[in-house]
Amino acid sequence: MRAVLVALTALGLATGLAGSQDDRFRAANELARGGDFPKAVAGYAALAASGSESASLYWNWAQAASARGASGEALWALLRARELDPGDRAVARDVERLREALNLDPAEIAPEPLAAAARFSRRFRLDLLSAALLALSLAAHAHARLRRSGGPSGPLAAGLLALGLLAAAAPVAGAFARPTAAVVRRAAPLFESASPAAEATGSLREGEVVPVLDTSGDWLRVEDNAGARGWARASDVRRLDRAPASVD
């Protein structure tokens, strides 16, 4: 009985939390519809930081950021939405629209080819497909051994094994992709070391996606499309592989 009460209490808390998050999302949307885009973005950021992420959250965030002229932030939000839902065509169209508006080449928002393999794998759930095919291959192989005579089970097991390994190629390749981040600030400075007192060695293009080579506190070591390396503030260059902890 006590276990049942604990379970019901936990369920009630989870339901209340979900309701609270929905209310906060609707409130942020209302702020955006009313034209208060900074507060709307702050609301979306707070939801994302609390772990309440979704493609629709980031899509709305992108619209609010775009409306206040923050095109780099809008592109980052759309790319984050694409990470969560690689098959969303509306997000893909908006990514291309903003890329063209920022005058970026396709390569400048896709510097890591293996990241595309990871998105492809997530879109078609190739990890689950691969596991299912390999399990069927083992079953077919076990059946062939039990029969001892081989028959059609042997070739079937080999074929399923080959298909399972082929399906596993994309998720395995994607696992080796370097993390990337999008530049959300126009002319974000690139420093020679992870310190505000360091000398600026250049600047990054707004909206450009760069590989993350290292991290140090609130700093990211990145490499731009031209091959220049340096340190950038994490508030200027937001990672695409995780929710932002906070937004300045």
From 103, 137, 153, give the residue that closes a domain: 103
DSSP 8-state secondary structure symbol assigned to residue 220: E
* Same domain, residue pair 7 and 94: yes
Residue 71 falls inside a structural domain:
yes
- Residue 237's pLDDT is 97
Distance of CA 185 to the CA centre of its chain: 19
- Tens-digit pLDDT profile for the chain (248 aa)? 455 333 433 434 344 545 688 999 999 999 999 999 999 999 999 999 999 999 999 999 999 999 999 999 999 999 999 999 999 999 999 999 999 999 999 999 999 988 888 888 888 888 898 888 888 888 887 877 777 655 566 788 888 888 888 888 888 888 888 999 999 999 999 999 999 899 999 999 999 999 999 999 999 999 999 999 999 999 999 999 998 876 66
- Residue 19's pLDDT is 63
Q: What one-letter code names the amino acid at 91?
A: V
Q: What one-letter code names the amino acid at 125?
A: R
**Residue 13 phi/psi, 5° resolution?**
-65, -40
Kindly report the pTM of this predicted structure: 0.84
- Residue 145's pLDDT is 77
CATH number, domain of 203, equals 2.30.30.40
* Same domain, residue pair 94 and 184: no
* Same domain, residue pair 60 and 148: no
Place of tokens 């959250």: 57
- Residue 151's pLDDT is 57
CB atoms within 10 A of CB 6: 10
* Same domain, residue pair 65 and 142: no
- Residue 148's pLDDT is 63
* Same domain, residue pair 93 and 7: yes
- Residue 153's pLDDT is 66
**Helix/strand/coil for 146:** helix
- Residue 194's pLDDT is 95
Burial class (CB in 10 A: 0-12, 13-18, 19+), 183: buried
DSSP 8-state secondary structure symbol assigned to residue 109: G
Q: How large is the angle between the packed helices 55-67 and 2-33, nearest 10 degrees?
A: 20
- Residue 66's pLDDT is 96
